[in-house]
Structure 1
Amino acid sequence: MISKGNEVPKLKGLILAGGKSSRMGHNKEQIAWHGKEQKYYAADLLSQFCSEVYISCRQDQLQHIAEGYKGLSDNFIGMGPTGGILTALRSDREVAWLVIACDLPLVDEPILKNLVENRNPEKIATTYKSPFDGLPEPLITIWEPDSYPILLEYLGKGKTCPRKVLINTDCLILEPEQPQKLMNVNTPQDLEEAKQYLSKKML
Protein backbone atom coordinates (compact mmCIF):
# COMPACT_ATOMS: atom_id res chain seq x y z
CA MET A 1 0.00 0.00 0.00
CA ILE A 2 0.98 3.65 -0.11
CA SER A 3 3.92 4.69 2.04
CA LYS A 4 3.29 6.52 5.30
CA GLY A 5 3.52 10.24 4.96
CA ASN A 6 2.29 10.21 1.36
CA GLU A 7 -1.19 11.55 0.85
CA VAL A 8 -3.59 9.21 -0.89
CA PRO A 9 -5.28 10.98 -3.83
CA LYS A 10 -8.93 11.72 -3.22
CA LEU A 11 -11.59 9.90 -5.20
CA LYS A 12 -13.96 11.39 -7.71
CA GLY A 13 -16.58 9.31 -9.48
CA LEU A 14 -17.37 8.87 -13.16
CA ILE A 15 -20.35 7.15 -14.76
CA LEU A 16 -19.66 6.15 -18.37
CA ALA A 17 -22.89 6.95 -20.23
CA GLY A 18 -21.72 8.30 -23.59
CA GLY A 19 -22.20 5.20 -25.71
CA LYS A 20 -24.85 4.92 -28.41
CA SER A 21 -26.23 1.54 -27.21
CA SER A 22 -26.35 0.16 -30.76
CA ARG A 23 -26.51 -3.48 -29.66
CA MET A 24 -29.26 -2.80 -27.12
CA GLY A 25 -31.40 -0.77 -29.51
CA HIS A 26 -32.20 1.93 -26.93
CA ASN A 27 -30.24 3.99 -24.43
CA LYS A 28 -28.83 1.79 -21.66
CA GLU A 29 -28.19 4.67 -19.32
CA GLN A 30 -31.93 5.46 -19.29
CA ILE A 31 -33.08 2.00 -18.20
CA ALA A 32 -34.68 2.28 -14.74
CA TRP A 33 -33.39 -0.90 -13.11
CA HIS A 34 -33.74 0.49 -9.59
CA GLY A 35 -36.55 3.03 -9.85
CA LYS A 36 -34.56 5.71 -11.66
CA GLU A 37 -32.43 5.97 -14.79
CA GLN A 38 -29.31 3.84 -14.41
CA LYS A 39 -26.88 6.73 -14.85
CA TYR A 40 -28.45 8.52 -11.87
CA TYR A 41 -28.69 5.39 -9.76
CA ALA A 42 -25.01 4.69 -10.42
CA ALA A 43 -24.10 8.30 -9.62
CA ASP A 44 -25.93 8.03 -6.30
CA LEU A 45 -24.01 4.85 -5.51
CA LEU A 46 -20.66 6.46 -6.24
CA SER A 47 -21.51 9.54 -4.17
CA GLN A 48 -21.13 7.37 -1.07
CA PHE A 49 -17.43 6.93 -1.83
CA CYS A 50 -16.44 9.99 -3.88
CA SER A 51 -16.16 13.71 -3.16
CA GLU A 52 -17.80 14.52 -6.51
CA VAL A 53 -19.48 12.41 -9.19
CA TYR A 54 -19.78 13.19 -12.89
CA ILE A 55 -21.74 11.56 -15.70
CA SER A 56 -19.48 11.10 -18.73
CA CYS A 57 -21.44 11.85 -21.88
CA ARG A 58 -21.38 13.19 -25.41
CA GLN A 59 -21.74 16.93 -25.94
CA ASP A 60 -25.30 16.50 -27.24
CA GLN A 61 -26.29 14.68 -24.03
CA LEU A 62 -24.97 17.35 -21.69
CA GLN A 63 -28.09 19.53 -21.73
CA HIS A 64 -30.25 16.57 -20.75
CA ILE A 65 -28.47 15.79 -17.47
CA ALA A 66 -30.99 16.15 -14.64
CA GLU A 67 -30.73 18.90 -12.07
CA GLY A 68 -28.59 17.86 -9.12
CA TYR A 69 -26.19 15.81 -11.27
CA LYS A 70 -23.02 16.91 -13.08
CA GLY A 71 -22.15 16.06 -16.66
CA LEU A 72 -18.67 15.86 -18.18
CA SER A 73 -18.60 15.79 -21.97
CA ASP A 74 -15.83 13.84 -23.70
CA ASN A 75 -12.86 15.78 -25.04
CA PHE A 76 -11.46 12.63 -26.66
CA ILE A 77 -14.07 11.98 -29.33
CA GLY A 78 -14.66 8.53 -30.80
CA MET A 79 -12.43 6.75 -28.28
CA GLY A 80 -15.16 4.84 -26.43
CA PRO A 81 -14.72 4.40 -22.67
CA THR A 82 -11.06 5.46 -22.89
CA GLY A 83 -12.18 8.90 -24.06
CA GLY A 84 -14.35 9.39 -20.99
CA ILE A 85 -11.67 8.13 -18.62
CA LEU A 86 -8.99 10.36 -20.17
CA THR A 87 -11.29 13.38 -20.09
CA ALA A 88 -11.90 12.88 -16.37
CA LEU A 89 -8.23 12.32 -15.56
CA ARG A 90 -7.26 15.45 -17.50
CA SER A 91 -9.95 17.54 -15.81
CA ASP A 92 -8.33 16.98 -12.39
CA ARG A 93 -4.79 15.65 -12.33
CA GLU A 94 -4.62 15.43 -8.53
CA VAL A 95 -7.36 12.87 -7.91
CA ALA A 96 -8.12 9.24 -8.72
CA TRP A 97 -11.31 8.35 -10.53
CA LEU A 98 -13.67 5.55 -9.56
CA VAL A 99 -15.21 4.65 -12.91
CA ILE A 100 -18.22 2.45 -13.59
CA ALA A 101 -20.18 1.94 -16.79
CA CYS A 102 -23.92 2.43 -17.01
CA ASP A 103 -24.30 -1.10 -18.40
CA LEU A 104 -23.42 -2.77 -15.07
CA PRO A 105 -26.87 -2.72 -13.41
CA LEU A 106 -26.01 -5.36 -10.80
CA VAL A 107 -23.17 -3.34 -9.25
CA ASP A 108 -24.11 -2.36 -5.72
CA GLU A 109 -22.72 -0.73 -2.59
CA PRO A 110 -20.85 -3.81 -1.24
CA ILE A 111 -18.88 -4.44 -4.44
CA LEU A 112 -17.89 -0.77 -4.63
CA LYS A 113 -16.98 -0.69 -0.96
CA ASN A 114 -14.72 -3.71 -1.43
CA LEU A 115 -13.00 -2.01 -4.37
CA VAL A 116 -12.41 1.20 -2.41
CA GLU A 117 -11.26 -0.51 0.78
CA ASN A 118 -8.77 -2.70 -1.09
CA ARG A 119 -7.50 0.07 -3.35
CA ASN A 120 -3.75 0.27 -3.80
CA PRO A 121 -2.88 3.86 -4.82
CA GLU A 122 0.70 2.84 -5.61
CA LYS A 123 -0.61 0.86 -8.61
CA ILE A 124 -1.93 2.66 -11.67
CA ALA A 125 -5.36 1.14 -11.03
CA THR A 126 -7.40 -1.16 -8.80
CA THR A 127 -9.91 -3.29 -10.64
CA TYR A 128 -11.83 -6.57 -10.65
CA LYS A 129 -11.17 -9.78 -12.52
CA SER A 130 -13.98 -10.44 -14.95
CA PRO A 131 -15.72 -13.75 -14.18
CA PHE A 132 -16.61 -14.09 -17.84
CA ASP A 133 -13.16 -14.08 -19.45
CA GLY A 134 -10.71 -13.86 -16.53
CA LEU A 135 -9.37 -10.50 -17.69
CA PRO A 136 -9.37 -7.21 -15.74
CA GLU A 137 -12.65 -5.30 -15.99
CA PRO A 138 -11.85 -1.66 -16.90
CA LEU A 139 -15.42 -0.47 -16.53
CA ILE A 140 -15.45 -0.83 -12.75
CA THR A 141 -12.02 0.44 -11.83
CA ILE A 142 -10.22 3.04 -9.75
CA TRP A 143 -7.84 4.85 -12.10
CA GLU A 144 -5.04 6.60 -10.22
CA PRO A 145 -3.54 9.93 -11.44
CA ASP A 146 -0.46 8.13 -12.80
CA SER A 147 -2.63 6.19 -15.23
CA TYR A 148 -3.20 9.32 -17.33
CA PRO A 149 0.14 9.40 -19.21
CA ILE A 150 0.00 5.64 -19.68
CA LEU A 151 -3.47 5.78 -21.23
CA LEU A 152 -2.25 8.62 -23.45
CA GLU A 153 0.75 6.56 -24.51
CA TYR A 154 -1.47 3.65 -25.52
CA LEU A 155 -3.79 6.05 -27.33
CA GLY A 156 -0.80 7.41 -29.26
CA LYS A 157 -0.13 3.85 -30.43
CA GLY A 158 -3.68 3.55 -31.71
CA LYS A 159 -4.82 1.38 -28.79
CA THR A 160 -8.13 2.64 -27.44
CA CYS A 161 -9.07 -0.34 -25.26
CA PRO A 162 -8.59 0.42 -21.52
CA ARG A 163 -8.51 -3.31 -20.79
CA LYS A 164 -5.24 -3.65 -22.71
CA VAL A 165 -3.73 -0.99 -20.47
CA LEU A 166 -4.72 -2.95 -17.37
CA ILE A 167 -3.42 -6.23 -18.83
CA ASN A 168 -0.02 -4.79 -19.63
CA THR A 169 0.64 -2.50 -16.67
CA ASP A 170 1.02 -2.66 -12.90
CA CYS A 171 -2.52 -2.76 -11.52
CA LEU A 172 -4.21 -4.56 -8.64
CA ILE A 173 -6.81 -7.12 -9.75
CA LEU A 174 -9.34 -8.24 -7.15
CA GLU A 175 -11.47 -11.38 -7.21
CA PRO A 176 -15.17 -10.47 -6.92
CA GLU A 177 -17.02 -12.26 -4.13
CA GLN A 178 -20.22 -12.26 -6.19
CA PRO A 179 -19.08 -12.47 -9.82
CA GLN A 180 -22.57 -12.08 -11.29
CA LYS A 181 -22.56 -8.44 -10.14
CA LEU A 182 -20.08 -7.66 -12.90
CA MET A 183 -22.47 -8.70 -15.65
CA ASN A 184 -22.44 -6.36 -18.66
CA VAL A 185 -25.86 -5.72 -20.17
CA ASN A 186 -25.40 -4.85 -23.84
CA THR A 187 -28.13 -6.75 -25.66
CA PRO A 188 -31.86 -7.46 -25.19
CA GLN A 189 -30.90 -11.01 -24.17
CA ASP A 190 -28.57 -9.66 -21.48
CA LEU A 191 -31.35 -7.37 -20.31
CA GLU A 192 -33.75 -10.25 -19.74
CA GLU A 193 -31.12 -12.23 -17.86
CA ALA A 194 -30.35 -9.28 -15.59
CA LYS A 195 -34.06 -8.73 -14.96
CA GLN A 196 -34.42 -12.34 -13.86
CA TYR A 197 -31.49 -12.01 -11.47
CA LEU A 198 -32.85 -8.80 -9.94
CA SER A 199 -36.34 -10.28 -9.52
CA LYS A 200 -34.92 -13.31 -7.69
CA LYS A 201 -32.75 -11.08 -5.53
CA MET A 202 -35.78 -9.09 -4.46
CA LEU A 203 -37.81 -12.13 -3.39
Structure 2
Amino acid sequence: MTPQPRRSPSSKRRATRGSAGERESRLPSQGTLIVMEATLLVLAGGESRRMGRPKPWIEVGDTVLLRYVVERLAPAFSEVMVSFGEPEQMEQLVPYRVVFDRKRSAGPLAGLEAGLEAARNDALFAVACDMPYVTQAAAELAVAAARNCDAAIPRHDGLFEPVCGAYRKTALPAIVRALDAGNYTAHDVIENLDVTWLEGLDPAQFESLNTPADLERFHAALSAQR
Protein backbone atom coordinates (compact mmCIF):
# COMPACT_ATOMS: atom_id res chain seq x y z
CA MET A 1 0.00 0.00 0.00
CA THR A 2 1.27 3.46 -0.86
CA PRO A 3 1.37 5.52 2.36
CA GLN A 4 -0.48 8.81 2.35
CA PRO A 5 1.25 12.11 3.15
CA ARG A 6 0.77 13.25 6.75
CA ARG A 7 1.03 16.80 8.04
CA SER A 8 3.22 17.28 11.09
CA PRO A 9 1.52 19.32 13.85
CA SER A 10 4.69 21.35 14.41
CA SER A 11 5.71 22.02 10.84
CA LYS A 12 4.30 22.61 7.40
CA ARG A 13 6.57 19.80 6.16
CA ARG A 14 4.98 16.41 5.51
CA ALA A 15 6.62 13.01 5.36
CA THR A 16 5.69 9.87 3.49
CA ARG A 17 7.54 7.07 5.26
CA GLY A 18 8.37 3.41 4.83
CA SER A 19 8.87 1.40 8.03
CA ALA A 20 9.21 -2.21 9.07
CA GLY A 21 5.65 -2.38 10.42
CA GLU A 22 2.21 -2.15 8.91
CA ARG A 23 3.02 1.12 7.14
CA GLU A 24 5.87 -0.37 5.14
CA SER A 25 6.33 1.54 1.87
CA ARG A 26 6.60 -0.48 -1.31
CA LEU A 27 7.05 0.91 -4.79
CA PRO A 28 4.13 -0.06 -7.05
CA SER A 29 4.93 -2.42 -9.90
CA GLN A 30 5.50 -0.93 -13.35
CA GLY A 31 2.48 -2.82 -14.65
CA THR A 32 0.05 -0.79 -12.53
CA LEU A 33 1.07 2.57 -13.97
CA ILE A 34 -1.26 4.78 -15.99
CA VAL A 35 -0.48 7.95 -17.91
CA MET A 36 -0.59 10.83 -15.44
CA GLU A 37 -1.79 14.35 -16.19
CA ALA A 38 1.68 15.56 -15.32
CA THR A 39 4.77 16.78 -17.14
CA LEU A 40 8.14 15.06 -17.19
CA LEU A 41 10.98 17.60 -17.16
CA VAL A 42 14.48 16.28 -17.79
CA LEU A 43 17.12 18.80 -16.74
CA ALA A 44 20.01 18.78 -19.21
CA GLY A 45 21.68 22.12 -18.56
CA GLY A 46 24.47 21.07 -16.21
CA GLU A 47 28.13 21.78 -16.91
CA SER A 48 29.42 18.18 -16.50
CA ARG A 49 32.77 19.27 -15.05
CA ARG A 50 33.62 16.03 -13.25
CA MET A 51 32.52 13.85 -16.15
CA GLY A 52 34.72 15.79 -18.55
CA ARG A 53 32.17 15.82 -21.39
CA PRO A 54 28.51 16.81 -21.81
CA LYS A 55 26.42 14.21 -20.01
CA PRO A 56 23.26 14.37 -22.18
CA TRP A 57 25.13 13.03 -25.20
CA ILE A 58 27.13 10.23 -23.58
CA GLU A 59 26.46 6.98 -25.42
CA VAL A 60 24.67 4.30 -23.40
CA GLY A 61 23.87 1.16 -25.34
CA ASP A 62 22.27 2.15 -28.63
CA THR A 63 21.20 5.60 -27.46
CA VAL A 64 22.47 8.58 -25.44
CA LEU A 65 21.98 9.26 -21.73
CA LEU A 66 19.37 12.00 -22.22
CA ARG A 67 17.18 9.81 -24.41
CA TYR A 68 17.65 6.85 -22.06
CA VAL A 69 16.31 8.82 -19.08
CA VAL A 70 13.41 10.26 -21.09
CA GLU A 71 12.39 6.91 -22.58
CA ARG A 72 12.61 5.20 -19.18
CA LEU A 73 10.12 7.62 -17.57
CA ALA A 74 8.05 9.13 -20.40
CA PRO A 75 5.36 6.40 -20.62
CA ALA A 76 3.94 7.58 -17.28
CA PHE A 77 3.46 11.22 -18.39
CA SER A 78 1.13 13.15 -20.69
CA GLU A 79 3.84 15.68 -21.59
CA VAL A 80 7.63 15.52 -21.91
CA MET A 81 10.03 18.45 -21.85
CA VAL A 82 13.80 18.88 -21.75
CA SER A 83 15.50 21.98 -20.37
CA PHE A 84 18.89 23.28 -21.45
CA GLY A 85 20.84 26.19 -20.07
CA GLU A 86 21.38 27.63 -23.55
CA PRO A 87 20.83 26.59 -27.20
CA GLU A 88 24.53 25.82 -27.65
CA GLN A 89 24.12 22.80 -25.35
CA MET A 90 21.85 21.09 -27.88
CA GLU A 91 24.43 19.03 -29.72
CA GLN A 92 21.64 16.93 -31.20
CA LEU A 93 18.02 17.60 -32.04
CA VAL A 94 15.60 15.97 -29.62
CA PRO A 95 11.98 14.98 -30.38
CA TYR A 96 10.58 16.63 -27.24
CA ARG A 97 9.51 20.09 -26.17
CA VAL A 98 12.63 22.07 -25.32
CA VAL A 99 12.90 25.03 -22.95
CA PHE A 100 15.89 27.21 -22.11
CA ASP A 101 16.89 28.88 -18.86
CA ARG A 102 15.94 32.53 -18.41
CA LYS A 103 19.08 33.05 -16.34
CA ARG A 104 22.25 31.37 -17.54
CA SER A 105 24.61 29.56 -15.19
CA ALA A 106 21.95 29.63 -12.47
CA GLY A 107 21.89 25.89 -11.83
CA PRO A 108 18.87 23.59 -11.65
CA LEU A 109 16.58 26.30 -10.28
CA ALA A 110 16.66 27.98 -13.68
CA GLY A 111 15.67 24.74 -15.36
CA LEU A 112 12.82 24.25 -12.90
CA GLU A 113 11.62 27.79 -13.54
CA ALA A 114 11.63 27.28 -17.32
CA GLY A 115 9.83 23.97 -17.01
CA LEU A 116 7.14 25.16 -14.60
CA GLU A 117 6.51 28.25 -16.73
CA ALA A 118 6.05 26.21 -19.90
CA ALA A 119 4.36 23.07 -18.58
CA ARG A 120 0.81 22.43 -19.72
CA ASN A 121 0.07 20.54 -16.50
CA ASP A 122 0.00 21.81 -12.94
CA ALA A 123 2.23 18.97 -11.71
CA LEU A 124 5.74 18.38 -13.00
CA PHE A 125 8.30 15.69 -12.20
CA ALA A 126 11.84 16.97 -12.59
CA VAL A 127 14.84 14.69 -12.94
CA ALA A 128 18.42 15.38 -13.98
CA CYS A 129 19.59 13.72 -17.17
CA ASP A 130 22.38 12.01 -15.22
CA MET A 131 19.98 10.03 -12.99
CA PRO A 132 19.24 6.92 -15.07
CA TYR A 133 18.16 4.66 -12.19
CA VAL A 134 14.96 6.56 -11.25
CA THR A 135 11.85 4.45 -11.84
CA GLN A 136 8.43 5.29 -13.22
CA ALA A 137 6.96 4.04 -9.96
CA ALA A 138 8.96 6.54 -7.91
CA ALA A 139 7.91 9.34 -10.26
CA GLU A 140 4.26 8.33 -9.92
CA LEU A 141 4.54 8.27 -6.12
CA ALA A 142 6.10 11.75 -6.09
CA VAL A 143 3.44 13.27 -8.35
CA ALA A 144 0.64 11.78 -6.24
CA ALA A 145 2.25 13.02 -3.01
CA ALA A 146 2.55 16.57 -4.39
CA ARG A 147 -1.18 16.87 -4.99
CA ASN A 148 -1.79 19.12 -1.97
CA CYS A 149 1.57 20.83 -1.51
CA ASP A 150 4.25 22.67 -3.50
CA ALA A 151 6.65 19.76 -3.95
CA ALA A 152 7.29 16.11 -3.09
CA ILE A 153 10.95 15.12 -2.90
CA PRO A 154 12.70 11.85 -1.94
CA ARG A 155 14.82 12.10 1.22
CA HIS A 156 17.22 9.59 2.79
CA ASP A 157 19.06 10.06 6.09
CA GLY A 158 18.12 13.74 6.06
CA LEU A 159 19.61 14.31 2.60
CA PHE A 160 17.64 15.17 -0.52
CA GLU A 161 18.32 15.98 -4.15
CA PRO A 162 16.30 18.91 -5.54
CA VAL A 163 16.77 17.76 -9.15
CA CYS A 164 14.62 14.69 -8.55
CA GLY A 165 11.10 15.38 -7.36
CA ALA A 166 7.59 16.55 -8.17
CA TYR A 167 6.76 20.25 -8.22
CA ARG A 168 3.52 22.14 -8.73
CA LYS A 169 3.12 25.57 -10.24
CA THR A 170 2.55 26.95 -6.73
CA ALA A 171 6.33 26.54 -6.25
CA LEU A 172 7.10 28.88 -9.15
CA PRO A 173 6.83 32.27 -7.37
CA ALA A 174 9.44 31.29 -4.76
CA ILE A 175 11.79 30.07 -7.50
CA VAL A 176 11.37 33.26 -9.53
CA ARG A 177 12.00 35.44 -6.47
CA ALA A 178 15.17 33.53 -5.61
CA LEU A 179 16.57 33.75 -9.13
CA ASP A 180 15.78 37.46 -9.39
CA ALA A 181 17.55 38.01 -6.06
CA GLY A 182 20.62 36.14 -7.28
CA ASN A 183 20.07 33.17 -4.96
CA TYR A 184 20.68 30.10 -7.10
CA THR A 185 20.77 27.60 -4.23
CA ALA A 186 17.92 25.15 -4.73
CA HIS A 187 18.10 23.87 -1.14
CA ASP A 188 17.38 27.38 0.20
CA VAL A 189 14.28 27.72 -1.97
CA ILE A 190 12.95 24.28 -1.07
CA GLU A 191 13.23 25.11 2.64
CA ASN A 192 10.58 27.78 2.00
CA LEU A 193 8.17 25.51 0.15
CA ASP A 194 5.41 23.28 1.48
CA VAL A 195 7.11 19.92 0.90
CA THR A 196 6.11 16.29 1.24
CA TRP A 197 9.27 14.29 1.98
CA LEU A 198 9.28 10.82 0.44
CA GLU A 199 11.14 8.57 2.83
CA GLY A 200 11.83 4.85 2.82
CA LEU A 201 12.54 4.59 -0.92
CA ASP A 202 15.61 2.77 -2.20
CA PRO A 203 18.28 5.52 -2.32
CA ALA A 204 20.24 3.69 -5.03
CA GLN A 205 17.76 4.79 -7.68
CA PHE A 206 18.54 8.44 -6.98
CA GLU A 207 22.28 8.17 -7.63
CA SER A 208 23.80 10.46 -10.27
CA LEU A 209 26.45 9.72 -12.87
CA ASN A 210 29.02 12.36 -11.93
CA THR A 211 32.32 10.72 -12.86
CA PRO A 212 33.69 8.25 -15.43
CA ALA A 213 33.70 5.62 -12.66
CA ASP A 214 29.96 6.18 -12.09
CA LEU A 215 29.39 5.79 -15.82
CA GLU A 216 31.38 2.55 -15.89
CA ARG A 217 29.21 1.11 -13.10
CA PHE A 218 26.08 2.09 -15.01
CA HIS A 219 27.33 0.39 -18.17
CA ALA A 220 28.01 -2.72 -16.09
CA ALA A 221 24.45 -2.61 -14.71
CA LEU A 222 23.05 -2.31 -18.24
CA SER A 223 25.12 -5.27 -19.41
CA ALA A 224 23.92 -7.37 -16.47
CA GLN A 225 20.28 -6.77 -17.47
CA ARG A 226 20.79 -8.10 -20.98
- TM-score bracket, normalised by the shorter chain, equals 0.7 to 0.9
Matches of 1:134 and 1:16 in 2, distance apart?
Answer: 23
- Counterparts in 2 of 1:65-144, with a 5 A limit? 65-66=93-94, 68-92=95-119, 95-116=122-143, 118-129=144-155, 131=156, 134-144=158-168
Aligned to 2:88: 60
1:71 partner amino acid: V
Asked if the contact 1:127–1:174 (Cα under 8 Å) also holds between the matched residues in 2, the reply is yes
1:22-57: CA deviations, max 9, x gaps? Answer: 110012112233542121122223322222111111
1:167 partner amino acid: E
- Counterparts in 2 of 1:164-183, with a 5 A limit? 164-183=188-207
Matches of 1:180 and 1:146 in 2, distance apart?
Answer: 29
Higher normalized strand content (fraction of residues): 2
Cα offset, 1:101, TM superposition: 0.2
| TM-score of the superposed pair, with normalisation by structure 1 | 0.81
Q: CA RMSD in A?
A: 2.6
Q: What SS class does the counterpart of residue 141 from structure 1 fall into?
A: strand
Matches of 2:223 and 2:140 in 1, distance apart?
Answer: 23
Asked if the contact 2:128–2:163 (Cα under 8 Å) also holds between the matched residues in 1, the reply is yes
Question: Which structure's CA Rg is the greater one?
Answer: 2
1:30 aligns with 2:30: no
Asked if the contact 2:39–2:120 (Cα under 8 Å) also holds between the matched residues in 1, the reply is no
18-27 or 183-192, larger mean C-alpha shift: 183-192
| TM-score of the superposed pair, with normalisation by structure 2 | 0.74
Asked if the contact 1:76–1:86 (Cα under 8 Å) also holds between the matched residues in 2, the reply is no
Percent same amino acid among aligned pairs?
Answer: 29
Any stretches of 5+ residues in structure 2 without a counterpart?
6-35
Find the partner of 2:184 among 149, 160, 184.
160
Size of the aligned set, in residue pairs, is 192
